[in-house]
């Protein structure tokens, strides 16, 4: 198989790649930055396999340049960055990494819920800036509770279900919305109009598709409780960010905790980064050693199967 060329748009530790570098003519974009478009357009020209990730837009132009490509393996469960229809029309297989990152992402959703409602990051910032002066007060840094509250999960897929399992452990009332009801899930299906006014935490776990693009706009946020928090571990483009900023400024909702953004990365000058009732993480839903290693195993296996 060594005559086959595999192009990787990002670096993975050598020991996570298994036999791939020995089995194929393996080329990778080694810098930590996303692979430049020009580099990808050039390298994909002779590639039989492409190992890519969420920062690569694999569209018609890339596929046109990819004269020999037989398989695209993305190191992610989301595949909204790939024109799957155009790949299919060319007979190119597409692989992704579902399941192995589900629990890590659900863990982060809970970390965000707890952090924003119990003011964990705000408290940490307060201490580091020398602002903790009175040792204890009955009304100091009061947050709101997670256990026993109502969670509204939008997107009851793999990650949504894993969030629901955790919510059950916190004795939460679980509402959910997805395109189709899931009779096997121990939770109450609710249309958005019923879910939003009842939920203390609205957690987004949908995939990005035409029906979820900009799903969360000002009108959506207006239907939430003023005391509620919005948590997003799905994709940034599910939210109209300027509407969220406006809603937070106006006190339409209590706060937000976000792992993903409309345009990544965001900087310290971003309006969300200046809000105390917002917790931000840099797209790290699946970022644990164990999960990233398992994702590599699946992505490499998908690639090798596609080549075979
Ligand atoms: P999944 O199993 O495909 O679940 C997606 C869910 O979204 C499905 O239940 C689907 O409903 C629902 N959905 C789609 N469109 C909807 C709509 N218009 N209204 C309501 N629900 C809708 O995917 P997953 O494995 O759970 O992953 C979900 C997404 O999380 C991924 O696509 C990815 O973008 C994101 N993600 C982010 C990170 C991170 O680092 N933050 C990590 C992993 C994944 P039906 O079942 O009824 O079709």
**String of DSSP letters for 236-266:** GGGB-HHHHHHHHHTTSSSEEEES--SSSS-
pLDDT in the model for residue 150:
99
For the beta sheet containing 150-154, the strands, ordered from the edge strand earlier in sequence to the opposite edge, are 188-189, 173-177, 150-154, 201-204, 229-232, 255-258, 278-280
* Degrees to nearest 5, angle at CA 146 with 142 and 148: 120
User: Cα–Cα distance between 175 and 187 in angstroms, integer?
Assistant: 6
Mutation probe of ligand 1 site: the residue of 77, 163, 209, 237 with most atoms within 8 A of C-beta = 77
pLDDT in the model for residue 8:
98
The CB density around residue 32, as the number of other CB atoms within 10 Å, is 7
Tens digit of pLDDT per residue, the chain (308 long)? Answer: 668 999 999 999 999 999 999 999 999 998 889 999 999 999 999 999 999 999 999 999 999 999 999 999 999 999 999 999 999 999 999 999 999 999 999 999 999 999 999 999 999 999 999 999 999 999 999 999 999 999 999 999 999 999 999 999 999 999 999 999 999 999 999 999 999 999 999 999 999 999 999 999 999 999 999 999 999 999 999 999 999 999 999 999 999 999 999 999 999 999 999 999 999 999 999 999 999 999 999 999 999 999 99
pLDDT in the model for residue 173:
98
CA 131 to chain centre: 33
Residue 267 CA to ligand 1 center (angstroms) comes to 26
Q: List, in order, residues 6 or more apart from 294 with CB less than 8 Å away.
A: 97, 100, 101
Reference 272, options 225, 235, 230; nearest CA is 230
Any atom of ligand 1 within 6 Å of the Cβ of 209: yes
| Ligand 1 atom at minimal distance to the Cα of residue 206 | 7
pLDDT in the model for residue 1:
62
The helix (run of H) or strand (run of E) holding residue 234 is none
Rg (CA), the chain: 21
CA atoms within 13 A on the CB side of 184: 4
Mutation probe of ligand 1 site: the residue of 82, 96, 157 with most atoms within 8 A of C-beta = 157
Any atom of ligand 1 within 6 Å of the Cβ of 157: yes
Q: Cβ(223)–Cβ(252) under 8 Å?
A: no
The CB density around residue 192, as the number of other CB atoms within 10 Å, is 14
The residue nearest atom 8 of ligand 1, judged by CA position, is 157
Q: Cβ(175)–Cβ(198) under 8 Å?
A: yes
Any atom of ligand 1 within 6 Å of the Cβ of 306: no
pLDDT in the model for residue 191:
98
The helix (run of H) or strand (run of E) holding residue 154 is strand 150-154
Q: Cβ(258)–Cβ(229) under 8 Å?
A: no
Beta strands in 13-70 (DSSP E): 25-28, 49-52
List the catalytic residues: 235, 264, 283
Q: Cβ(61)–Cβ(41) under 8 Å?
A: yes
pLDDT in the model for residue 3:
84
Q: Cβ(6)–Cβ(24) under 8 Å?
A: yes
Any atom of ligand 1 within 6 Å of the Cβ of 74: no
Any atom of ligand 1 within 6 Å of the Cβ of 5: no
| Ligand 1 atom at minimal distance to the Cα of residue 160 | 26
pLDDT in the model for residue 265:
97
């Amino acid at each position: 198989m060594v005559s086959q060329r595999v192009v990787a748009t990002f670096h993975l530790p050598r020991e996570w790649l298994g036999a791939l570098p020995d089995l194929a003519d393996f080329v990778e974009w080694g810098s930590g930055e996303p692979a430049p478009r020009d580099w990808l357009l050039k390298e994909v020209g002779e590639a039989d396999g492409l190992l890519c990730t969420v920062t690569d837009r694999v569209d018609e132009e890339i596929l046109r340049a990819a004269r020999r490509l037989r398989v695209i393996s993305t190191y992610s469960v989301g595949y909204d960055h790939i024109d799957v229809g155009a790949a299919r029309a060319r007979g190119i297989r597409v692989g992704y990494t579902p399941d192995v990152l589900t629990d890590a992402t659900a863990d982060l959703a809970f970390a965000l819920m707890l952090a924003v409602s119990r003011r964990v990051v705000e408290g940490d910032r307060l201490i580091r800036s020398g602002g903790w002066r009175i040792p204890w007060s009955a009304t100091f840094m009061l947050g709101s509770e997670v256990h026993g509250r109502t969670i509204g999960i939008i997107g009851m897929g793999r990650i949504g279900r894993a969030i629901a399992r955790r919510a059950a452990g916190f004795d939460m009332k679980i509402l959910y919305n997805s395109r189709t009801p899931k009779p096997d899930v121990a939770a109450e299906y609710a249309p958005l109009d019923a879910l939003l006014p009842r939920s203390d935490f609205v957690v987004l776990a949908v995939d990005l598709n035409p029906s979820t693009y900009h799903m969360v706009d000002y009108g959506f946020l207006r239907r939430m409780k003023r005391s509620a928090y919005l948590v997003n571990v799905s994709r940034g483009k599910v939210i109209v960010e300027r509407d969220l900023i406006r809603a937070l400024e106006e006190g339409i909702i209590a706060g937000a905790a976000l792992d993903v953004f409309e345009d990544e990365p965001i900087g310290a000058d971003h309006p969300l980064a200046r809000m105390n009732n917002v917790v931000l993480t840099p797209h790290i839903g699946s970022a644990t050693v164990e999960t990233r290693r398992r994702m590599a195993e699946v992505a490499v296996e998908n690639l090798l199967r596609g080549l075979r």
